[in-house]
Amino acid sequence: MIKKLLNYNKKWRRLFSHDIGIDLGTANTLVYMRGRGIVINEPSVVAVNQKTGQIVAIGTEAKLMLGRTPEHILAIKPLVDGVISDFETTEEMVAYLLSRATAGSNKLLSPRVVVGVPSNITNVEIRAVRDATRNAGAGEVHIVEEPMASAIGMRLPIHEPVGNMVIDIGGGTSDIAVISLGGVVRSKNLRIAGDRFNSDIIAYVRNQFKILIGEKTAEAVKMTIGSVMPTHAPFEAPIKGRDLVTGLPKEVILTDTDIREALSQSVETLIEAVREVLESTPPEILSDIMQRGLHLSGGGALIKGLAELIENEINIPVHVPADPLTAVARGCGIILEDLERFKDVLIVNEDELPPKK
C-alpha cells in the first residue's frame, strides 16, 4: 500500500512540477531539465548597476561586459572557487536561470532541484547554496557533490563494489574522488582549475613579454592553442594587450610552447594531488582503478594533451567522455529521474556532514 502511494506521489509530482538539475559552476552554470536535457549553458557572470542596485545583464551578455564597463556598472562573478561569494547576486542569477528554464510552462508546483557543489565545502557554504536556490523559487532542493554527480553523468557503476576514480576539473576547483558502493572512499579538492590556468597565462605574458592582458584574452588563447603535451605541428595565436613599459597597445604572438610553460607548475600540482589520492586508496579499489582507468570531466578535460600527460605520469589509462563539460549537469538529471535510488549520494542535511579537515 505504501509503495503504491509513493508511486502515485511520484507521478503526481511529475505531472504538476518541473525537475531541474543545476551545475552551479564558477565559470559556467548549466541547467538540465527532465525530458529536455541541457537547456541552459551560461557564464556565471552578473552585471550590476551600482547606482540603482539593479541587475543589468546575466550570463553571456554580462560576460561580454567584463573589462568593458563604465564605473557605475560592475560585471562580477558571484561564485569564487565553486562557492557563493555574493549571496544576493547568486540568488538573482539562479532565479533568472530557473525562470528561463521553465518559461512557457504552466506547472503548478515549484520546481524540484538538484544542485552540484564541490566536494569538501563547509556546512555554511552548503547552506548558502540551499538557501539561494530555495529563495530563487525552488520548492525542493537537493545537494550532491560534483565528482559524484559527474560519475553518475558518465554512467559509471557507482553502486557496485568496484572502484571508480573521477577527476572533475571545473572553473574554480578540481575535485579528485574515488567512489565505490555509492560513497566517496577518498577525495581531494584543490583550487587549481580553469581560473588558475587563466591567471598563470596572464602572469607568464606579463613576465615574459611585459604585456598586460585580460582574463577573457587568457581564456581564449588557452582554449585555442593551449596544450600540455608537445604537438606534431606548432600552434600560435596573436594576443593584444597593454605594454607595461610604454603604456601603449601592443601585439605579440603566443605559441603552444608558451602555454605549456605557463601551465606547467599548476598541472604538476594537479597530477601530484592525483598521486596522493591513489597512494591513500585501499589496494582492492586501486586494483579496480588500474583496470578500469581514471575518468576526466569538466571544462579542464578539454585542454589538449591533459589526459595523455596524466596517463603517462601515473601509468593508468585515462578516459574522457564525449561531452565532459556537461557531465555534472547530466548526473543531476539522472538523479532526478530516480531520487529514491540515489538518495544515499545526496547531502541530505548540512548538519549531518562530517567536519571539514
Residues at the annotated binding site?
Answer: 26-28, 171-173, 219-222, 299-302
206 pLDDT band, cuts 50/70/90, is very high
pLDDT of res. 123: 87
pLDDT of res. 282: 93
Average pLDDT over residues 13-36: 80
For 33, phi then psi, to 5°, come to: -120, 130
What CATH number is given for 161-192+263-321 in this structure? 3.30.420.40
Does 9 score more than 70 pLDDT?
no
Residues at the annotated binding site for ATP?
Answer: 26-28, 171-173, 219-222, 299-302
pTM given for the model? 0.86
What CATH number is given for 2-149+328-352 in this structure? 3.30.420.40
In angstroms, the Cα distances linking 97 to 24, 81, 93, 109, 193 are 11, 20, 6, 17, 24
For 30, phi then psi, to 5°, come to: -110, 140
Distance CA 306, CA 229 (A): 7
Chain centroid to CA 161: how far?
27
pLDDT tens string 313-353: 999 999 999 889 999 999 999 998 888 889 889 886 544 44
For CATH 3.30.420.40, the residue range(s) in the chain are 2-149+328-352, 161-192+263-321
pLDDT of res. 281: 93
CATH class for the domain made up of 194-262 = alpha beta
Burial 7-41 (b: 16+ CB within 10 A, else e): eeeeeebeeebbbbbbbbbbbbbbbbbbeeebbbb
Does 245 score more than 50 pLDDT?
yes
pLDDT tens string 58-112: 888 888 888 788 888 888 888 887 788 888 888 888 888 888 887 756 555 678 8
pLDDT of res. 108: 55
8 Å CB contact between 50 and 73 = yes
- Helix H or strand E encompassing 49: strand 46-49
